[in-house]
Every structure is written in C-alpha cells, then in structure tokens.
Structure 1
Amino acid sequence: MRFVPLRAAGRSRLRRATIVASALVLGSGMAVVAATQASAATGCSVNYQVTNQWPGGFGASIAITNLGDPISSWTLKWTWPSGQTVQSGWSGNFSQSGSTETVTSLSYNGNIATGATVSGIGFNGSWTGSNTNPTSFTLNGVTCNGSVGSSPTPTRTTASPTPTRTTASPTPTRTTTSPTPTSTGSPCTTNCPAHVDNPYAGAKGYVNPEWQAEANAESGGSRVSNNPTGVWLDRIAAIAGANGAMGLRAHLDQALAERSGSTPEYIQFVIYDLPGRDCAALASNGELGPNDIGRYESEYIDPIAAIMSDSKYSSLRIINIIEIDSLPNLVTNTNGTAGATDMCNTMLQNGNYVKGIQYALNKLHAISNAYNYIDAGHHAWLGWDSNFGPAADLFASTARGTTAGMASVDGFITDTANYSALQEPYFNINSTVGGQSVRQSTWVDWNNYVDELSFAQAFRTKLVSEGFSSGLGMLIDTSRDGWGGPNRPTAASTSTDMNTFVNQSRIDKRIHAGNWCNQSGAGLGERPRANPGPAGIDAYVWIKPPGESDGSSSAISNDEGKGFDRMCDPTYGGNARNGNNMSGALPNAPLSGHWFSAQFQQLMANAYPPLS
C-alpha cells in the first residue's frame, strides 16, 4: 500500500427543588453552598475548579449551570479573596477592577437554557502569598447558590474553605521552581526578539521534567533523559494541565527558570486537537467532533495563543508542531482510495482541517518568538508521485489562505511519532539488483524514496517551488528510527534476488512500512541537534517522547477520547493499509501517550548510535 495513516501516540442537569445543594469545586477540596428556597425565576450554580498550580501561578476552569429561565447573554462576577490576578482567559471576556473579576459571554456561548450548563470557560492567573478560592459568584446580578430565587441570601456552611491542593508539577525529582510572575500577561509590543531563520541554532532545548522523571525512573534511563522532547497539547484540558500534569504556562515558566546567561532556550509544543482528529486511525482520536471548529478556535487555539503571546515569554523560542496526522490524511485517505474512511471524507468536505490549521497559523504566527512547523507525514506515506505533488499543493494552498501567506510557516516536519529510517546506508532508490530497480521490491513498492532524509530534502525542494521561502527548514523526528541492536545489518546483501537483497540490506526491520504502532525491534535514533549537516534540515528532534505508547494493544476504557486500533494489537493480521501483514506491535501496551516501560527499554537497547 502506498500510504500510511501516521499515529500520532459529563454534564449533569440540575432540576428545581425545594432544597438544592450546589458544589463549587475548589482544587482538591470543595465548598458546599446550601440554599433553602426555590421559588422565583432566576438561579444558577457555578463549578470553579483549580486545574493546575505552580509557584506563583495557577489555571482554573469554570462551568455555569442555569437553574432559572433561559438567558441569551451572561455576566459572571466574583471577588478574589487573596488578590489574585487573571493573566489570560478564554471562552469569555475577562476584566478585573481591584479584587472584582468580571467575565462576559461570547457570541457562541451566551445562550443558556433552563437546566443547561456552559463549560469550557477558563483562565491562567497569578498569585502571591496564597491562592484561596472564591466562594461566591453572581450571574447577571443573581447570587449563584444552587437555588431558584430572586437574589436570595441563604445560610451557608463551608467545608474545606482552604483546601490542600495537588500542584501541577508532581514530579518529586524536580527542584527548580519558577519565579513569581510579574507580567500582566500583555503581548510583546516593543523590543520584541527577532524572528530567526532557524530557532534551534545556537539554542538550548527545554527538557520536559515530567518526561525526564519517567525516563530517570527506568534502569539506564539517565543516559537519555536530558534530551529535549515535545510537549503534547492533545486536548483542551492539557492547556491548564490535565490530571495533575503541568500545563502550558507551567512549562513556559519552567523553561524561563532554566535559562542561563545569554543562550536562547527553545521549547517545543505539539498543537494537536483538530476537529475529527486522526480521521484514519482510532488510537489517538480526539475530543472534538468533526464540526467543532468553533470550540477548536475559541477553547483551544485562542487560550494557547493568549499564553504564548505573554511578553514574559518573549525571550523563549516557542516552536509549534502543527497538527500531526491531518493534511496528509486528506490526500491519501479520501475519495475512494483503498485507505479512505468516512471520517476523512467528512473532514475533506467540511474543510475543518484546513480551516483549523489556518486559524492556528494566523494566531501563532502573530507571536514574534513563535515558530510554526507543519506535519508532512513521512516517506512511506507521501513518497509516491500520486501523493507527493498533491500534498505539496494542499500545504501551499493552506498557507496561502492565512493572513501572512507563506510567511506563516517556518518549516515542515517528517516522521513524527513514526519509525521510518533516517537513512538506509546499504541501498538507495538508484540501487539495482540484476538490472532491476529496488523500486520493484515488495518493501519499496515503487516509492521514490527509501528513507526520511532523502524524502525530507526532496519535499522541501518541491515546497519551495510551490512558493514557500527558500529559507524553509525541515525537521525530522528521530526519536524512534535508530533500528540498532544485534539485528542491524552491517553491509549490503550479496543476494541476487531483489526482495532478499532489500530485506537483508534494510535497517528498518518493520514487517511493513505501513506499521506504525509500538513497533517491535525499534530503537532510539539520532539525538536531537540543530543543523545536523544535510542541506535544508533545521534539526533532528525528538517530538515523540520515547517511552510514550502509540496506542493500547487491547481495548481500555478511558475518558480521553482514545479508541482501540487493531494496528496496536500484536495478534492483528493487518488490512489494506499495511498490505494485510501482521501489525508488528508490542504486547501489553497502555493508552496512547501513557508510559510504556517495555518499549522504553527496547528503544534504549536498540539505539543507534548506541548508548554509552
């Protein structure tokens, strides 16, 4: 098969009642507000939750439930008990006067029917001294106490008014803390840093302390744990920090704290939550439905841009890897191709992949110290003529549709979260066996490329011919393409049989180039570094953190929107996309993005260059 779909890796309705209890969830504790009357036409409850906290800063989410008559717009107010300050908010217009915070509705979330809830409102803020939660909210002037009435003043009983919080930086081995923010959250407007040609050049890479702790906990993991890896913002909750993990601002603060001297620091984020995400695979399906473009823009991209544009972070080089597994799927998995899926056809027809990426480019390119690299699949996905040209055309038309045009894109990245070899040292596309081209072998299957480096360089040339800048840079994710260990060939095969020659000579030992999930035998590849030598390559990077699963090997119930893909099942016999071959996946794998110790140990054992 000539293309591969790359892996990446409750609302409750409240009823009117004579006695209603409402909970304002506050961090890991809660303040319970009890109301004793429910007779008039207005009423509300508010769920306020601290989702992420770090020294001097925190993130929070808000959900409003309307217990009275329908409303068409809303104004939410509360008083900060400890002088906190909102730095950036989303899904509402935030303003602050002294200790009073006011949030007003936007055009799409102003209507709240009786018993309905509007959620997705959130912000990042700063605090000094303490971060006591607010305990009283008003909606359109009515106190939100969980009852229906005309601004009642009920008797309250408060439980755990100052709860113990779990911070968003749970890693016990990390001792460096971020300084207390002094920024007001405004974007950089004067003396902003120059936008350099290659953000990796001359810069130090940010090491994610959460990944580093996982690696250090493994035997021998300290040999690789100081390498920079990508931070995946794979759902809305990840912005503030999901399930106790560090959020976007916490990572940026940590990167600032790690800076030393005049050496620039870069930090890499994967922007990865498009509507209908991963339309040709199941393991990393996302939280947003195919038509949720409004939520993608307002609840995902807007808050990311608001945080990244804070002038506090203007000294950092913020590198954004834009939407893995998106535009390439529109080329190869639609319109009756062998790998076509209904979801990919839907995303082609509604245009939301293109619209979403254009929106992200517009917002992020406006930040002078941000750099945008778009996913370009890999050689075993787009390397055929039937995919190569159309993909370049689609990327070019997408960029032209942005405000800044081609300038909104700094480069492209290949092989993200995949296993294609950086270079095949013992044969190339021009090699012949018995007068026949290796393109005729079952492994190469008439592809024009046999490895990532040759593909990335050729694709860059094609993209420049489409109108992209001659300074366009390419990244190659080498996190799992090493293919070392005892099974790595040391010389070209001497066989005169075409398939035998290729199979004995190739270092990529997958059963089929269409296999993408937790591959058996894979190893760590080239370590991250800038300007590695080949023309047009900005850097080798580890965007996929080694040791994080591509998907579960069996169905696992979860609240992350992730499905079970049989390509992650080691017993699966394959499909048209991998030539009906075995999946080659490791057993006992957890959900995508979760730590997979057995895979990490394998990657270290088969690293190439080998680990010392």
Structure 2
Amino acid sequence: MRLNGQRRWAAAGVAVATAVATFGVALSAPAGAAPGCRVDYKANNWGGGGFGAAVKITNLGDAVSNWTLKFSFPGGQRVTQGWSATWTQSGADVTAANASWNGSLGTGASIDIGFNGSYTGSTNADPTSFSLNGTVCTGLQPPTTTTTTTTSGDPNPDPGNRVDNPYVGAKQYVNPDWSAKAAAEPGGSRVANQPTGVWIDRIAAITGTADSRGIVGHLDEAVRQAAGSPLVIQFVIYNLPGRDCSALASNGELKATEIDRYKTEYIDPIAAILARPAYKDLRIVTTVEIDSLPNLVTNVTPRPTAVPQCDVMKANGNYVTGVGYALAKLGAVPNVYNYLDIGHHGWIGWDDNFGPTAELLFQAANASGSTKANVQGFIANTANYGALREPNFTIDDTVNGTSVRQSKWVDWNRYVDELSYAQAFRQRAVQAGFDANVGMLIDTSRNGWGGAARPTGPGPKTTVDAYVNGGKLDRRIHLGNWCNQSGAGLGERPTAAPASGVDAYVWMKPPGESDGASKEIPNNEGKGADKMCDPAYTGNVRNGNNLSGALADAPLSGKWFSAQFQELMRNAYPAL
C-alpha cells in the first residue's frame, strides 16, 4: 500500500540524539606552517542499537597528499559499514584512511566521510579525541553539545526521516544545462522548464564535463531552486563495469573486471557528495544502473538472444556486486531514494523474464552489504518508448476467437503497455521479498506517440494482427527497437502520484539527448556505433529481424540531437 507523505511508523517512543564535537588536531608541518585541523563528528541514533555518524575533516595546516584518521570508541561501539574512506577496527580503535580519489587535502579544505555502526546499552558516547597522520589533538576542545528530540513511532525509525513518496508535495529540479539546449530550439521554450534526470554516465561527469556541470554544481543549483521548500533532484547512476553488455551505443569506460574502480572512483565519491550537510534537505532520487540486471536474464546462454559479453558479466558477478554496492553506499545517505531499473514491458513482460528479473533484483538488493531497505522502488521504461497506456485493446481481447497475445506485435507477452507492466511488477517484486510499500516510476519522456499517425480507435476485427496494428499507439516497427525512434513524441508531463502504486511519471531521459550514434564517432567515453541506431539496419533476433526504425545521423549517446527533439515536440501527446 502506498501512503502519500510521511512513512507511517508503529506507535512507540524513540529518542533521536545528535552530538557535535569539534577538536583541534595537529598535522606534521614545516616550521612557519599553521598546524592543525578540525574534526566535526555527528552521530545520529535511530534506535535498536544502530546509529550513523558523519565525520568532517578540515585541514587547517599545510596541504597533505594522504591522510589517516584514528579514534577510539569509549563504549564498545562497532563500525558496520563505512564510506568515502577505508575503514578498519581493532577492538575499540578505529582507523579511516583516504580512498584513492580523496587523499589530497589542501589548506582549508574539508572532506566528508562517515559510517554506520552499532552499540549496546542505553548510551552511545562520542569519541573523546582524534588523531590525523599520527599526531594527537593538541588544540582546545570545546565541550560536546548534545540535543535530543523525542518522537513517537517505530523503535527503528528511518534516520533520514524519509517520506513514503519523495515526489508528493515537492518541486522537481530543472537542469539548467538541458533547459538551455531545449530553449534554444524553435518552440523549445514550451518544455524547457520541465524536470529531467541528470545522467552521471562516467567518472568525469562527477566533477563536470565541457558541456555539463558536475554533481556539486547541480546540487547547489537545486538548493537555490528549492528556496526552502521540498525539492526532488534526479540522478541516473550509470557506469557499471562492462556496462550495457548487449548494446554498443551505450558501452561505458570501465572494463568488465574493473569493479574496484567502479567502487572507489565512481560510487564512493558520488556518495560522499550526496552526504554533504548542505544538501540534507533535498530529496535525491537515484535511478540505479539501467539495463544491467535485466540483461543477465534475457541476453545470456542458452537464450537465442544471448550476447557473449552478457555471459561474461553473468559469470563474473560484477553487475550484481556493483548494484549492491551502489545501493549500500547511496542508501546510507538519509535523504537518498534508490529506484532500480526494470527495463520495459517489451523486454521483461514475458513469463520467463518477469519473475526471474524480480528475483535477480532482490539478490542484488541484498549484495555487497546492502539490504532491501535501500530500495525505494523501481523504474520502468527508462530511456525507452513503450506507450504508457494502450486504450484501444487489452491483453484479454480476442478476435474471431484468437487472443491478442498471438498477434505478431504482442507475441505472447503478458502486458501491452508500461502502466499495467509497472503495476504488475511491483506486486511480483513484493512477492520476491521487497517491502510492500515500494513504489514505481515510469519514464514518459518519449512515449507520447501523438501526431497524425496516432490511432483514434480500435483496429478492424478482420484478423488479430489488423486489430492490434490498427489500434496500437506505439508506432514502432518492433518492441525491440530502442534507438532514436522515428515518430516518437513527448509523453505525459512529470507528475507525482498519478496512479495506484506509482510514485511519479518522470522524464528520466532528457528529451533531445541521443540514444546512440548511427555511425562510428571518435570519443573517449567508451561509446561505439550500434547497428540498432542505423536506419538501414535490417535487425537481429532481439528485434525480430526488422528494420531498426532509428532516425538518421544521430550523435553519440547523451549528446544533443536537434532533429530528434523537434520530432518529439511535433508528436507530443498530450500535445504542446
């Protein structure tokens, strides 16, 4: 059952304590330097013997290239999960050493790290001293201050006070980088104020690239747009090793075996940024690794649709490992809401794909230190074209005694559109073990299918194929066609809580950003040309050996494609 607003907790009393301690810590430094640093330690108890701690280190001395922080727990506490540092513990003694990406700490610079922990008894006392790079605190230590608030609710409340549906009662972030490109197009000002997802599709995107700002830039702008009100900002986490094993257009920079780089150079720095106190009031939605796990169900041996690289990724386990790691790290940030990708109805809607995908997602949600609690819900149709609703026929219709499931278009699928698929998948995910209050997102950025070709009613009941083909809104040649589809239009505008079990319709794929290149274009992003993006390609087993239906002269995935944007506006439904 989905509940709008605050997550409901069972009646019980619980105290939430926040402690802040500031310490001066001397750094080894040459004569004349101003040695010292400050450590801000904030622990949040959420009951049941669990707590989370944010640790901010500020360097007040000369720059260092590597750092090690040490402290001791006074009450037998244990670190159970840490981020943005390599955490170890021996008895009461805890050590946090820099990760590969955050060892450099300049004068006046700060780094945020943190951990989840456990304690026994009724108190969770803070550490009383810290040392950095072997030098014990020598500065003045202000007294620790503790504030305690009492709420009624579950004895194990969500420490981030997450709401059940982050989209309800909240504005959504408008990406200025995308908005400027849309507004520069003739007629684009009609949609330039719509919220879209921000794609973090390589390590460089964390800090920013030549044509887009980095995560910090987006978050700072989101705080400005929020202006003190609830605001949702959406990020697509998309850089697994061996990414998108069945599509060359969206291959990534990390090789199949580079799971350690994925963790330390990609996920860890993202989690550290999202955890910064400046962003604690934002509602940060993450779409986690689209197209990855479904590939391990449909495109592996002995399926006729098998792709060798997908067999590699299934064998090495790095999709499952990476998704679990991302969920664990991002889910530890109290105001982050993770949504797992479930493909679309034209991919996963068949019986032999549907249940296995739900089971595999549950496995990944509990891998690499994660638990199912780190999954807020699921997202369907990300960057795809499946119609939201097919009003002119249902899966239960028959023509002259023949089920529409036997039509060439439906081809024995159980679903004919994304809404019915998403709602059914939610129920199957709960059956697989996910919490009953998970919610769904549906990407409606390019599934409007309006314009002159949009059917106005059912097709003729002469044959089942004539009936389905004449009435279906989705005008693709085949459900397996996914690249820059000709005739597509903008779909339903982003909307909160539009249907039962659905948290929101979203534009997770920014309209106008290409799905992939139709020919080889030199680049340093690991992206190749894909035949499915070539309008002359006559297909493969995954699209029934049909034409690709793609627009010509497409740029690399993620790059601006003016011709596509114009076509999406022309065919928008509801119309602009």
Counterpart Cα distance in 2 of 1:201 and 1:126: 41
Distance 1:84 1:247, change over 3 A: farther
- Give the structure 1 partner of residue 500 of structure 2: 535
- Give 1:237's aligned amino acid: A
1:415 matched to 2:381? The reply is yes
CA shift digits 1:117-163 (9 cap, x unpaired): xx9735899999xxxxxxxxxxx9xxxxxxxxxxxxxxxxxxxxxxx
Counterpart Cα distance in 2 of 1:80 and 1:334: 60
Of residues 559, 563, 578 in structure 1, which corresponds to 2:524? 559
Counterpart Cα distance in 2 of 1:576 and 1:479: 27
Give, in angstroms, the shift of residue 493 of structure 1.
1.4
Give, in angstroms, the shift of residue 403 of structure 1.
3.9
1:223 matched to 2:190? The reply is yes
Give, in angstroms, the shift of residue 336 of structure 1.
2.2
Structure 2: which 5+ runs fail to align? 1-27, 41-54, 69-84, 87-98, 109-132, 134-146, 150-158
Give, in angstroms, the shift of residue 375 of structure 1.
0.3
- Give 2:526's aligned amino acid: G
- Give the structure 1 partner of residue 60 of structure 2: 98
1:251 matched to 2:218? The reply is yes
1:320 matched to 2:286? The reply is yes
1:235 matched to 2:202? The reply is yes
Task: Name the SS of the counterpart of 1:335 in structure 2.
Answer: coil
- Give the structure 2 partner of residue 605 of structure 1: 570
- Give the structure 2 partner of residue 115 of structure 1: none
- Give 2:392's aligned amino acid: Y
Counterpart Cα distance in 2 of 1:567 and 1:484: 23
Counterpart Cα distance in 1 of 2:452 and 2:37: 58
- Give the structure 1 partner of residue 180 of structure 2: 213
CA shift digits 1:405-464 (9 cap, x unpaired): 211100000000000000001001001111110000000000000100011010100111
- Verify the 8 A CA contact 1:212 1:226 in the aligned structure 2: yes
- Give the structure 2 partner of residue 268 of structure 1: 234
Give, in angstroms, the shift of residue 98 of structure 1.
2.2
Task: Name the SS of the counterpart of 1:100 in structure 2.
Answer: coil
Counterpart Cα distance in 1 of 2:218 and 2:39: 18
- Give 1:460's aligned amino acid: R
- Give the structure 1 partner of residue 125 of structure 2: none
Distance 1:572 1:100, change over 3 A: same
- Give 1:199's aligned amino acid: P
Task: Name the SS of the counterpart of 2:249 in structure 1.
Answer: coil
**Aligned pairs (5 A) from 1:93-132:** 97-104=59-66, 121=101
TM superposition outliers: structure 1 runs of 4+ over 4 Å: 83-87, 93-96, 105-108, 122-128, 189-193
Distance 1:127 1:432, change over 3 A: farther
Counterpart Cα distance in 1 of 2:322 and 2:148: 29
Structure 1: which 5+ runs fail to align? 1-74, 88-92, 109-118, 129-139, 141-188
- Verify the 8 A CA contact 1:327 1:353 in the aligned structure 2: yes
Counterpart Cα distance in 1 of 2:366 and 2:207: 32
- Give the structure 1 partner of residue 122 of structure 2: none
- Verify the 8 A CA contact 1:274 1:356 in the aligned structure 2: yes
Q: What TM-score results when the alignment is normalised by the length of structure 1?
A: 0.71
Counterpart Cα distance in 2 of 1:321 and 1:584: 27
1:329 matched to 2:283? The reply is no
1:289 matched to 2:269? The reply is no
Higher relative contact order (CA 8 A, sep 6+): 1
1:461 matched to 2:427? The reply is yes
Distance 1:462 1:76, change over 3 A: farther
Distance 1:404 1:554, change over 3 A: closer
- Verify the 8 A CA contact 1:94 1:103 in the aligned structure 2: no
- Verify the 8 A CA contact 1:274 1:296 in the aligned structure 2: yes
Task: Kindly report the root-mean-square deviation, in angstroms, between the aligned alpha carbons of the 2 structures.
Answer: 2.9
- Give the structure 1 partner of residue 277 of structure 2: 311
Counterpart Cα distance in 2 of 1:123 and 1:479: 40
Distance 1:127 1:202, change over 3 A: farther
1:445 matched to 2:411? The reply is yes
- Verify the 8 A CA contact 1:234 1:271 in the aligned structure 2: yes
Task: Name the SS of the counterpart of 2:224 in structure 1.
Answer: helix
- Give the structure 1 partner of residue 488 of structure 2: 522
Give, in angstroms, the shift of residue 497 of structure 1.
1.2
Distance 1:314 1:432, change over 3 A: same
Task: Name the SS of the counterpart of 1:610 in structure 2.
Answer: coil
- Verify the 8 A CA contact 1:86 1:123 in the aligned structure 2: no
Counterpart Cα distance in 2 of 1:518 and 1:296: 28
- Verify the 8 A CA contact 1:519 1:584 in the aligned structure 2: yes
